[in-house]
Copies of this chain bind each other. A is one copy, B any other.
Amino acid sequence: MTKPVPRTRIQRKNIALISEAALSVFSTHGFRGSTVDQIAREANLSKPNLLYYFPSKEAIHQHLLSMLMDTWLAPLKALQDDGEPLEEILTYMRRKLQMSRDHPRESRLFANEIVQGAPRIMDMLETELKELVDEKAKVIEAWMAAGKLAPSDPYHLIFSIWSLTQHYADFDAQVHAVLGPGHDDPFPEAETYLTTLFTRLLQP
């Protein structure tokens, strides 16, 4: 796969450079649409030099995905059984929205991959992700059963949080085209809108 663990300072630096460049390139062109030359240019390295650190284009992509998966799932992992239900959900939503704002490239990297059928991460979706979602769905279901949240389908609730928050990163081009040039940063409005939405949906 990737280099085991970076040993030298130079390795750490260059692997970071490559990851950063690859994230930009893969997130805007998808896997097949990106070229090694493009990534190398963006990282200010020669192509053979880049391939000295990663054995192949696929390896870079794989490395990014597994590196970022944890970051990506962190907000859901943080959803606490013992918190105040509505507040927990709203916090989760806000954290996801914040990730869309702060890490739009990561969001688009995953979006590209999944829209195209997730050929390279189906594994992780079916294991790591599914298990986490199953676990948290149970927590939410328990809240609903206890009358602390209005009843609804916990899986679709989670899907709706993903879709609504990631929309602002993944479909950024469309959001900006529709809102027009005068409009900047839709995130504050989005947060207000989504807070209202989930509050009305979930308040018992």
Contact = CB atoms under 8 A, between A and B. Distances in A.
Interface of A: 28-33, 108, 111-112, 114-118, 122, 125-126, 129-130, 133, 150, 152-153, 155-157, 159-160, 162-164, 166-168, 170-171, 173-175, 177-180, 186, 189-190, 192-194, 196-197, 200-201
B201 A175 contact: no
How many protomers of this protein does the assembly include? Answer: 2
Nearest to A127: B177
Contacts of A166: 163
B114 A178 contact: no
B156 A116 contact: no
Contact of A178 (B129, B152, B193): B129
Contact of A31 (B33, B112, B118, B153): B33
Q: For A33, A163, A194, which residue has the most chain B Cβ atoms within 10 angstroms?
A: A163
